[in-house]
A and B are shown apart, each in its own frame.
Chain A
Amino acid sequence: MKEIFVRLDRCVGCHSCELACAVEHSRSKNIFEAIFETPRPRRRLYVEYVMARKMPFLCRHCEDAPCVRACRTGALAQDPLTRIVTHNPDKCIGCWMCTMVCPYGVIGREWERRIALKCDRCPDREIPACVEACPTKALVFMEEEEFARLTRLEAAEEVAKGYRIAG
């Protein structure tokens, strides 16, 4: 299954992913209209700034998702095949158990309805909006193996450069 991976060294902190996320979760799906909607469309991922690094954080759709286990109402559920964790607003009572157990703090809140808010991996899209919006390809949407290979090739390139200089 494809996942959203973050290449942490590439984030420039432009927040384009956050805006694209909010727009994708608006009624109009158009920024010029979305900014006037109620409830205000909200982002489900967060670009944090820690130790001088820009770090996009978003739901990992964990294999053994603590938020799903903690949810008492069944609002949070995990697809057995895709492992995508979805949130049903009608079942959510806003108890914030999910927020407490999420190791990454990526479950937000919709103030108007007092319910939880999280990444749904953009069910209407082939490529999630945040990934498409990322101008530096810090966010990528691919299989785990593919991502590992990408990282491996980048590392290999560095090694190869050093090898050539040494040689």
Chain B
Amino acid sequence: MKALEEYSWCPAVQEMLRQAEKLDIETAWCRYEAQLPQCGFGELGTCCRNCMQGPCRIDPFGEGPQKGVCGATADTIVARNLARAIAGGAAAHSGHAKHLAHTLLLWAEGKAPDYTVKDEAKLKAIASRLGIPVEGKDIPEIAKEVAEKALEDFSEKETPVAWLVTNVTKGRVEKALQYGVVPTGIDSTISEVMHQTSYGVDADPLNILLGGVKCALVDFAGCHMATDLSDVLFGTPKPLVTVANMGALKPEAVNIALHGHNPVLSDIIVQVAKEMEEEAKAAGASGINLVGICCTGNEVLMRHGIPPVTHSVSQEMVILTGALDAMVVDYQCVMPSLATVAECFHTKLITTIPIAKITGATHIEFREEAARETARQIIRAGIEAFKKRDPAKVRIPNYTHKAFAGFSTEAIIWALSQVNKEDPLKPLIDNIVAGNILGVCLFAGCNNVKVPQDSGFLTIAKELARNNVLLLATGCGAGAFARHGLLTPEATEEYAGDGLKAVLTAVGKAAGLEGPLPLVLHMGSCVDNSRAADVAVAVANKLGVDIDKLPVVASAPEATAEKAIAIGTWAVTAGLPTHVGVVPPVLGSPFVAKVLTQDVKDIFGGYFIVETDPKKAAEKLLDAIRERRKGLGI
């Protein structure tokens, strides 16, 4: 076994890794080592499996074949594989959004009475943005029209995807029009890319990449729609404080983890759990303790302060504590191995979605029409499992950090408005211009077994903060910061440069906090990258320049999922220099690699920065910010 910090920088995970070794339980890290060395063709993106004449592989050293059976070159194959990965990511994000649109529609039609519209003002604002008149209509009527408009966005139609074009700058829409990448339907665009990249269709690598860009734009639409509809149904997040890491598990309580991505079930579980405390007590527990993993965890953290216990690559570790009674999963980033680890304990792994089942798990199918009843059934399964818990196996790593979260766009604007009521964005812009804030960096994406967990996020963030960069985070990146205490005012005191510290302190005090705002603002789950985009769009519109001129960058130092590739691509299309800390499978085509890291800058203004060394990555992000500042003459 290597040194523990080569696996994870999270002390709780390190403790559980020792436990896994002691109990001889296989983890993602073991399986990764068993996979090494991984296939070079796959690493470089030069393996094509798109037809049954293959698989074809291009020899990167030039001695072996340079073309697939059909004649496809490395450039064509790499571009096709990348576009398909983007389509996969877009399908996941927009599938999540579609699920919420169906739920809103069911509620509006009176078929899902367990839901409600928590944020009527946001529903009306979305309706207005979409051109739906709201005057004289009641909430269910507006909700129905918004949900129908959302569902319309999935099919091909005469007009552009509304959730894209109504949420970006005019300049970005014009750019997209110029390059023919304005999508007219979410599902139809994903389908189009699958067509474009299937056997014998598009062989022009640049054209395929543009197809990928178009698909990434529907990923953005899906993300934004998911955020919007979640806020409507479950409330727009407001700042709150909680604790993070596995120490939030309680030895005496029924511990239930909510894992996956969608709040559509998990939010109901949070609501219902409060009513089932007595049942838990009757079983001998002190009560019900809900905790979060990955982005379902982020959704219930942002709205209810449910403690996030771990993220991404370390999800198995929560079961290893021996104190988890049930893990409830919806979809995305849920490792099938959870079922195997759960077999070694009393933990009940519960799948809930028809398209996301795991052999060995208990499937309790979730229906929006009977949401509360399903939630009760799930919690009851957790209480039953609690009775079978073996106290001798319980080992909860005693690590927690205070964590502030709930920084939706609305919450950030509200905090800024406490400094300037008439013009909330002015304090932010003035401080950027004055140089107190050098720029803004959005951290997003996953943990990846190839990177010591959290090391990329922590190293880059501390370096940027020292240089007065305002930090935003979503997804498992935000989770990393939560578990390491960077979502706190104390972290601002410790790591922020003087300019940044002064600004965060001024806004924090105006907003009624004792001290500064946290060093990193947690904006939500991975679909909530749309919130950060909203802030950038608002600043760009206010300044009258497009996003590709702003000193704003993005970083996914430990990216894993196809969804991260899709988000990265729309961030680049939006105009942001976007860092990736894991080498994406594109180097087999020097042409594609050059387009992504250089040429695309001339098209959309944004570009990918691939850098696996976090210290160097921080330097490159700072350089990108300085270059943007120079461009603006500030």
Say yes or no: A23-B63 contact (C-beta < 8 A), given A15-B57, A32-B583, A35-B587: no
- Contact in complex: A19, B41 (CB < 8 Å): yes
- Contact in complex: A35, B60 (CB < 8 Å): yes
- Contact in complex: B37, A35 (CB < 8 Å): no
List B residues 41-100 near A (Cβ within 8 Å): 41, 43-44, 57, 59-64
- Contact in complex: A43, B63 (CB < 8 Å): yes
- Contact in complex: A35, B39 (CB < 8 Å): no
Shortest A25–chain B CB gap in Å is 10
- Contact in complex: A35, B588 (CB < 8 Å): yes
List A residues 6-35 near B (Cβ within 8 Å): 14-16, 18-20, 22-23, 31-32, 34-35
Interface flag for A40 (CB, 8 Å) = yes
- Contact in complex: A22, B583 (CB < 8 Å): no
Interface flag for A120 (CB, 8 Å) = no
Interface flag for B200 (CB, 8 Å) = no
- Contact in complex: A40, B64 (CB < 8 Å): no
- Contact in complex: A35, B63 (CB < 8 Å): no
- Which of B36, B61, B587 meets A32, CB within 8 Å? B587
Report how far A129 CA is from B36 CA in the complex, Å.
Answer: 11
Interface SS majority for chain B: loop
- Contact in complex: A20, B61 (CB < 8 Å): no
Say yes or no: A20-B63 contact (C-beta < 8 A), given A32-B583, A32-B587, A35-B44: no
A-B residue pair count with CB separations less than 8 angstroms = 46
Interface flag for B336 (CB, 8 Å) = no
Interface flag for B40 (CB, 8 Å) = yes
Interface flag for A42 (CB, 8 Å) = yes
- Contact in complex: B63, A31 (CB < 8 Å): no
Among B36, B43, B63, B588, max chain A CB count under 10 A is at B63
**CB-defined contacts of B587 to chain A, threshold 8 Å:** 32, 35
**CB-defined contacts of B39 to chain A, threshold 8 Å:** 14, 16, 19, 135
- Contact in complex: A19, B62 (CB < 8 Å): no
Interface flag for A132 (CB, 8 Å) = yes
- Contact in complex: A16, B60 (CB < 8 Å): no
Shortest A18–chain B CB gap in Å is 8
**CB-defined contacts of A35 to chain B, threshold 8 Å:** 44, 60-61, 587-588
Interface flag for A97 (CB, 8 Å) = no
Among A15, A42, A43, A132, max chain B CB count under 10 A is at A15
Shortest A39–chain B CB gap in Å is 10
List A residues 85-110 near B (Cβ within 8 Å): none
Report how far A41 CA is from B40 CA in the complex, Å.
Answer: 14
**CB-defined contacts of B61 to chain A, threshold 8 Å:** 19, 22, 34-35, 40-43
Report how far A36 CA is from B61 CA in the complex, Å.
Answer: 9
Of chain A, the residue at the smallest CB distance from B55 is A14
- Contact in complex: B41, A40 (CB < 8 Å): no
- Contact in complex: A42, B37 (CB < 8 Å): no
Interface flag for A77 (CB, 8 Å) = no
Report how far A15 CA is from B39 CA in the complex, Å.
Answer: 9
Say yes or no: A20-B583 contact (C-beta < 8 A), given A35-B61, A41-B61, A42-B63: no
List B residues 578-614 near A (Cβ within 8 Å): 583, 587-588, 590
Of chain B, the residue at the smallest CB distance from A24 is B37
**CB-defined contacts of A15 to chain B, threshold 8 Å:** 41, 57, 59, 64
Question: What are the interface flags for B440-463 relative to A under an 8 Å C-beta threshold, 1 for contact and 0 otherwise?
Answer: 000000000000000000000000
Interface flag for A133 (CB, 8 Å) = yes
- Contact in complex: A20, B37 (CB < 8 Å): yes
**CB-defined contacts of B44 to chain A, threshold 8 Å:** 31-32, 35
Report how far A35 CA is from B58 CA in the complex, Å.
Answer: 12
Report how far A32 CA is from B57 CA in the complex, Å.
Answer: 16
Report how far A43 CA is from B39 CA in the complex, Å.
Answer: 15
- Contact in complex: B63, A132 (CB < 8 Å): no
Residues on B facing A (Cβ under 8 Å): 36-37, 39-41, 43-44, 57, 59-64, 583, 587-588, 590
18 extra A-B contacts, CB within 8 A, seeds A16-B39, A18-B64, A23-B40: A15-B57, A15-B64, A19-B39, A19-B40, A19-B61, A20-B37, A31-B40, A32-B43, A32-B44, A32-B583, A35-B61, A35-B587, A42-B61, A43-B61, A129-B37, A132-B36, A132-B37, A133-B37
Residues on A facing B (Cβ under 8 Å): 14-16, 18-20, 22-23, 31-32, 34-36, 40-43, 129, 132-133, 135
Can you name 15 A-B pairs with beta carbons within 8 Å? A15-B41, A16-B39, A19-B40, A19-B61, A20-B40, A32-B587, A34-B61, A35-B60, A35-B587, A35-B588, A36-B590, A40-B63, A42-B63, A132-B37, A135-B39
